[in-house]
Structure 1
Amino acid sequence: MGELTVPAFTLADARAAGIGKDRIYDLLQRGDLERIARGVFVRPGVLDPSLVTLAAATAVHQTATLCLTSALVHHDLSDAIPFSADIALPRGTRHPAGFDHASWHSFDPETFEIGRELSDIGGMSVAIYSAERTIIDSFRLMHREGSDVAHQALRRWLRGRGNSPATLLRTARSFPTVAPRLRLSLEALL
């Protein structure tokens, strides 16, 4: 498919690689591409289905980061089956339109990079919040996500090999409203 080897890309990326709009539409009709949103495409079968929306969002905004329930599932801290991928962008960044399977979240730019880890999927770099950051976000947004989700994730994380409450609390210091609630939950579980 020309010079585009990444699994997800925008129409602008295709044009920059010398692939015209007509060629893209031919590939769509043949089933060699799948449209995820307006002007955003993926190569089918290249990515784990749970990461397709994240890859497509990353093609639009490099800062797109898997978060909340989707990140908990990714880290095996929840058995939920999310209908859409939870994706965070720094507050003030416009959320892309037309993504049917994305739930957009706006996180404070001051703390956005904390716990943000890059992973390579099919030759493309995507970001996923670490297990520790995701637990903190679950506690931080407990009013929206539910307290049972946060507590279950914390319990599962504590059972994991090599996980240290001190590391979690150190990361939580950057989120002062969450740290006391998290400390109380840890004390109750330990």
Structure 2
Amino acid sequence: MPGPKADRLQSLANERGILRTSEVEEEGIPRQYLSRLVDRGELVRIGRGLYRRPDHEVTVHHSLAVTAKRVPKGTVCLLSALQFHDLTTQNPLDVWLAIGHKDREPSVDAVSLRIVRMSGEARTEGIEEYKIEGVSVPIYEPAKTVADCFKYRSRVGLDVALEALRDFHEQNGSTDALWRYADLCRVQSVIRPYMEAVTS
């Protein structure tokens, strides 16, 4: 099936790493071109509406890239953000994802999600964009992630929050930034004694 649309589809797959069906249609390429390229072995379907080239380099953070493509309004948080920033020995099987309180609960057939609902500045502050496999992935920065772990300690475990705090300190993370996010997340009183212990 040679032709300009097939060539453009291949170029899109190269540019974006992981393709959504909607992105292909926005480029004026009928979706049946996707299935034809899959049949020819020139694309691989990795989940509902998601495709990549067979020679696409899959990294250890592949699930984050897939999640960002399927849930563009979500932000990688808590255990998944800790793992990305090397602030934990945990190896979460799920992708932890923050969404707004009124957002519809997403589902990604290629990835198991753990949804956390946040609101206000606690939802919107501290987001950094990282390129993973050609996909822009929003992830909470380290200081915000540590503060979140104390806020959601009943879900992640206090031991995980304490390990993250120690690792953050050993990586020379900014205490000022951590304190600001602790205030934002309303956990200053919770985190204060632990911060004093690791910095003393």
**Pairwise TM-score range, normalised by the shorter structure:** 0.7 to 0.9
Structure 1 partner of 2:60: 50
SS in 1 for 2:60: helix
Deviations 1:36-86 (A, max 9, x none): 432223345545533333223322332222111111111111122221222
Counting matched residue pairs gives 188
Residue 13 (structure 2) pairs with residue 2 (structure 1): no
Q: Quick check: 1:151 aligned with 2:162?
A: yes
Indicate which of 142, 160, 178 corresponds to 1:168.
Answer: 178
Quick check: 1:66–1:128 contact (8 Å CA) kept in 2?
yes
With over 3 angstroms needed to count, the CA separation of the structure-2 counterparts of 1:82 and 1:167, relative to structure 1, is same
Corresponding residue to 2:43 among 18, 33, 45: 33
Query: Partners in 1 of 2:94 and 2:52 — Cα distance?
Result: 17
2:77 pairs, out of 54, 60, 67, with: 67
Determine the structure 1 residue equivalent to 2:127.
116
Letter matched to residue 148 of structure 2: D
Query: Percent identity at matched positions?
Result: 29
* Structure 1 residue aligned with 2:142: 131
Change (3 A) 1:85 1:34: farther
1 or 2, which has the higher helix percentage? 2
Question: Is the radius of gyration larger for structure 1 or structure 2?
Answer: 2
Segment of structure 1 superposing worse, 118-127 or 28-37: 28-37
CA gap 1:52/1:171 in 2 versus in 1, 3 angstroms: same
Deviation of 1:31 (Å): 4.3
Deviation at 1:183, TM superposition (A): 1.1
Q: Say what the alpha-carbon RMSD is for the aligned residues.
A: 2.2
- Give the superposition deviation at 1:90: 1.9
Q: After superposition, where does 1:85-96 map in structure 2 within 5 Å?
A: 85-96=95-106
User: 2:111: which partner in 1?
Assistant: 101
Q: Which runs of 5+ in 1 are unaligned?
A: none
Give the superposition deviation at 1:87.
2.0
Q: 1:65, 1:46 → 2: CA distance?
A: 24
Structure 2 unaligned runs (5+)? 1-6
**1:76-128 Cα deviation digits (max 9, x unpaired):** 11122221222222222223334342323233230211111012234432111
Deviation at 1:141, TM superposition (A): 1.1
Match of 2:86 among 35, 57, 76: 76
- Counterpart-to-counterpart distance in 2, 1:44 and 1:53: 16
Amino acid at match of 2:195: L
| 2:193 alignment counterpart | 184
